Amino acid sequence: MADVVRVLSTLALMGAVRGLAGRYQAAGGARIDADFAPTLGLLDRLGGGETADVVILTKQALDDLAADGSVVAASCVDLARSFVGIAVKAGVAYPDIATGAALRATLLAARSIAYSRIGASGIFFAQLIDRLGIGSEVNARARIIPSGLTAELLAGGEADLAVQQISELKQVAGVEVVGAIPRELQTPAVFSAGRWAASAKAVQADALLKYLASPEVVPMLRESGLEP
């Protein structure tokens, strides 16, 4: 359909994209047909022949696709920064994660911690616990999911803590975000968007990309847990 733009987006932008889709269409833009998955999962799908008009991925992944011509380099825009955080079930006392030492103690004290295997946050967390010297202890009790929203495991009591991008943690009802892992321990992920080179809807895709990078979207990015 001429009035539909197909978007493949990383999970970190799910809240923002869903929030702005109706507003964008009401303002005269195309209808956004979006699907969400971790960046590595989307790269596998795109490599397998799936197509889209706009892709939203980590900056590094998008730059790689632009370098090989899969994404139009001139269309690429940086959208937001994202930090990895920790969530607990609503009503539970917040653990101390204010410093590296406090975070280490909290992780060791948790009965179980949920994180993802292939998402950017999960890869970061696996490396972090190894740096903190507690990888084997944490992983012995961890719930490592293939992909998806880790905070969903809090509701059923399958984990005490959930680790993921803050914008992803905020997508799950009945949980509360404690805060970001100390920033000196992490580098923010940057998420970017670009037009898929094979898209037959260059005009509509470029219009959406311009909107996503506009000041109008900034409040929604912040509300979803991202930094413009």
- Give the residue-averaged pLDDT of 169-191: 95
Domains delineated in the chain = 4-81+189-223 (3.40.190.10), 84-185 (3.40.190.10)
What does pLDDT average to over the chain? Answer: 95
Instruction: Decide: pTM greater than 0.75.
Output: yes
Residue 117 has pLDDT above 90, yes or no: no
User: In this predicted model, what pLDDT tens digit does every residue of 66-109 receive, in sequence order?
Assistant: 999 999 999 999 999 999 999 999 999 999 999 999 999 999 99
3-state secondary structure the chain: CCCEEEEEEEHHHHHHHHHHHHHHHHCCCCEEEEEEECHHHHHHHHHCCCCCCEEEEEHHHHHHHHHCCCECHHHCEEEEEECEEEEEECCCCCCCCCCHHHHHHHHHHCCCEEEECCCHHHHHHHHHHHHCCCHHHHHHHCEEECCCCCCHHHHCCCCCEEEEEHHHHCCCCCEEEEEECCHHHCCCEEEEEEEECCCCCHHHHHHHHHHHCCHHHHHHHHHCCCEC
Residue 2 has pLDDT above 70, yes or no: no
User: In this predicted model, what pLDDT tens digit does every residue of 5-55 receive, in sequence order?
Assistant: 999 999 999 999 999 999 999 999 999 999 999 898 999 999 999 999 999
